[in-house]
Amino acid sequence: MEFERHIIKTAEEVATTFRAMAVCGPRQVGKTWLLKRLAAKLGGYETVSLDDEALLVQARNDPKLFLDLHPAPLVIDEIQSAPELFSALKMRLDASDARGQYLMTGSQQFKMMKGAKESLAGRVGILRLAGLSKAEIEGRPLSAPFLPSLDVNRFGNAGGWDIHTVYEAVVKGGYPECHAVPNINVRRYFSSYIETYIERDIREMVDVANIAQFQTFMRVCAARTGQLLNYADLARDAAISVPTARTWLSMLETSGVVYILHPYYGNLIKRAVKTPKLYFTDTGLCSHLLGITTAKAAIDSPLSGALLETYVVMEIMKSHWYSGSDAKFWFFRDAEKHEIDLLIEDGGRLYPVEIKRASSVKAKDINRNMDVFRKATPGINAIGAVVLVSTSLGALDANTALIPIGAL
């Protein structure tokens, strides 16, 4: 089974606007498929993968010759493996004003983005790809990126998404293979994914001598998805040093396995926390690392709320990434623990989003946090939302929509 990726339209726009385009994201989320599909649509592209050892050696040792042998238009898969190519690419791009000369993918996003931004600034458009979104899995067409609204027509059909359905989606996650293959053994898939990921990406970034210890560290991180990031706690529970915890978490972030959400604060917010939050980009992988294999186990887990928050945060981000939105994402928490789970900064406005495992909420509980945030950020607040386990759209009040998870 094949899924239509919503980002394809954005990718075509970027490829025909910039002289080069780079797509970053974790392994096995569909980056290569996306560029092959795009290349076929635009026509005339050769595809080379730097997972091929012979091509990799050639690209590293003589990048100019490599590009002579593989002229544009060209798709380069896993370009972060040969950072030597970036300078050579700059010379090629400066010599021609043609759009879409090089389409690139990278599984180590910061490494790739660093090379692209330093050498190819102004010449390359960068896209972020994660797993399948809920809308892609359901076969719905691309719609506007998620923003809180009291207009129910902005959202999909919420019917049928009770708490069991929600957590089935949480446990399965969004990796395309988990949805494309009927009756796939998801546990075996994720076990193989972790082994392959460590062998191909982690070892490439740093010498991890103790693979079992690194896997323990991944499980420790999974147990903290949706929570404030504390390196000392991570180090203690994984039995490693704090510097090692920082290095290893950076590797997980670099390869797109986790996302670090930073807090919103400024001169007007005197008592906001400045500690970021940790999220896994895929709740299926996160659930596997936690030993959670069924919806019931996820519902009964002490991490049930954190997994749900992770799922919703990533679904909202995907809707923006895939539609080409340039929105920024934050969260808010002050010293008195008033918290907004997600802030969407778009068009100079801040849209606050609360995420609840409940099927109903009390206005006083939500407004306590919303009011504190709105008073701290006057003039830039927009309509807020509570995303919850419900089956109908509604409104908490004139400033806050109630949006079921099934409508995302």
Strand pairing category for 124-128 and 227-228: unpaired
C-alpha–C-alpha distance, residues 50 and 40, integer Å: 20
The dihedral formed by the CA atoms of 351, 357, 363 and 369, expressed in degrees to the nearest 10: -50
Secondary structure class of 400 (helix, strand, coil) = strand
Note the pLDDT of residue 361. Answer: 79
- Nearest to residue 293, comparing CAs of 389, 198, 185, 193? 185
Looking at this protein, which amino acid is placed at residue 217? F
What kind and span of H or E run contains 187?
helix 186-197
| Domain range list for the chain | 7-128, 134-407
Q: How big is the CA angle at 136 (ends 285 and 162), to the nearest 5 degrees?
A: 70
Note the pLDDT of residue 286. Answer: 97
| Right CATH for 7-128 from 3.40.309.10, 3.30.70.1450, 3.40.50.300, 3.90.650.10 | 3.40.50.300
Tokens of 223: 């147990």
Q: Per-residue pLDDT tens, the chain, 408 aa: give them.
A: 678 899 999 999 999 999 999 998 898 999 999 999 999 999 999 999 998 999 999 999 999 999 999 999 999 998 888 888 988 999 999 999 999 999 999 876 656 666 666 677 778 898 999 999 999 999 988 888 999 998 877 776 666 689 999 999 999 999 999 998 888 898 999 999 988 877 677 776 666 667 788 889 999 999 999 999 999 999 999 999 999 999 899 989 988 899 999 999 765 566 777 899 999 999 999 999 999 999 999 999 999 999 999 999 999 999 999 999 999 999 998 888 889 999 999 999 999 999 999 877 787 878 888 888 888 888 788 899 999 998 788 888 889 999 999 999
Tokens of 378: 């006057």
Note the pLDDT of residue 392. Answer: 80
C-alpha–C-alpha distance, residues 313 and 204, integer Å: 30
Sign for the CA dihedral angle at 274, 289, 223, 233 comes to: negative
Strand pairing category for 74-77 and 102-106: parallel
CB distance 333 to 227 below 8 Å: no
C-alpha–C-alpha distance, residues 162 and 135, integer Å: 17
Tokens of 163: 């708490």
Classify residue 160 as left (phi > 0), alpha (psi -120 to 50) or beta.
Answer: left
- Nearest to residue 187, comparing CAs of 96, 101, 294, 273? 294
- What DSSP string describes 140-174? PPP-PPP---S-GGGS---TT--HHHHHHHHHH-S
C-alpha–C-alpha distance, residues 38 and 229, integer Å: 38
User: Can you give the length of the chain in residues?
Assistant: 408
